[in-house]
Amino acid sequence: MFPASITMLLTACGSGDLTLNEADPDIVAQKPTWTQVEPIFQRECVPCHAGTDETGDDDDDDARDKRLLAAASSNDPGLESCRSVMNNSEDIISEVFRNNTMPPGAWPRLTSKERLTIERWMATGQAACD
């Protein structure tokens, strides 16, 4: 039989069915910035979703050639910039949060903290690009 102190500790440590937002709403910033979100996208998304950045505001010939080459090999959106992420936010929400299909296969899933950071950042809208 467990001592009462161990039972209380085990009971207190569990958050049950609570989301991270419910269990610890202050674990991430309430209004994350692109500076806080960008490393998550760079580490978890850009390795596969790069090169076809759809910002439409870069006239650099090298960058354009790079985008065209990448577009020829992939129809995936580029996720290298804040604007391209926001332009593809519906797909990201669908694939990452609703369907849980990204990242795919054996690629590690986003942590609850990373997911909450992205969710809160996206909730701020296009103005979130700093």
The pLDDT tens digits of the residues spanning 35-60 come to 999 999 999 988 888 865 454 444 45
Q: Is 78 within a domain?
A: yes
The one-character DSSP state at 28 is S
Residue 99 lies in a domain: yes
Q: Is residue 3 part of a domain?
A: no
Residue 113 has pLDDT above 50, yes or no: yes
Q: In this model, does residue 69 exceed pLDDT 50?
A: no
CA–CA separation, 34 vs 82, rounded Å?
A: 7
Range ranked top by mean pLDDT from 12-16, 50-54, 74-78, 104-108? 104-108
Average pLDDT of the residues in 103-118:
90
Average pLDDT over residues 57-70: 52
For residues 4 and 16, the model is more confident at 16
Each residue's pLDDT tens digit, 76-89? 667 888 988 888 88
Task: Look at residue 5 and tell me if it is in a domain.
Answer: no
Give CA separation, 122 vs 22, 46, 86, 87, in Å. Answer: 18, 17, 7, 11
- Domain-embedded: residue 73: yes
3-state helix, strand, coil split of the chain in percent (to 5) is: 55, 0, 45
- The answer to whether residue 11 is domain-embedded is no
Q: Token pair 């069915």 is at which residue?
A: 17
Domain count of the fold of the chain: 1
In contact, 27 and 113? CB cutoff 8 Å = yes
Q: Classify residue 85: in a domain, yes or no.
A: yes
Q: Is position 63 within any domain?
A: yes
If we measure between CA atoms, which residue out of 74, 76, 112 comes closest to residue 96? 112
Of 86, 91, 112, 113, nearest to 102 by C-alpha is 91
Task: Report, as an integer, the average pLDDT of 103-124.
Answer: 90
Lowest pLDDT segment from 10-14, 42-46, 74-78, 121-125:
10-14
Quick check: helix, strand or coil at residue 67?
helix
Q: Which domain holds residue 89?
A: 23-128
Radius of gyration of the chain (CA): 19
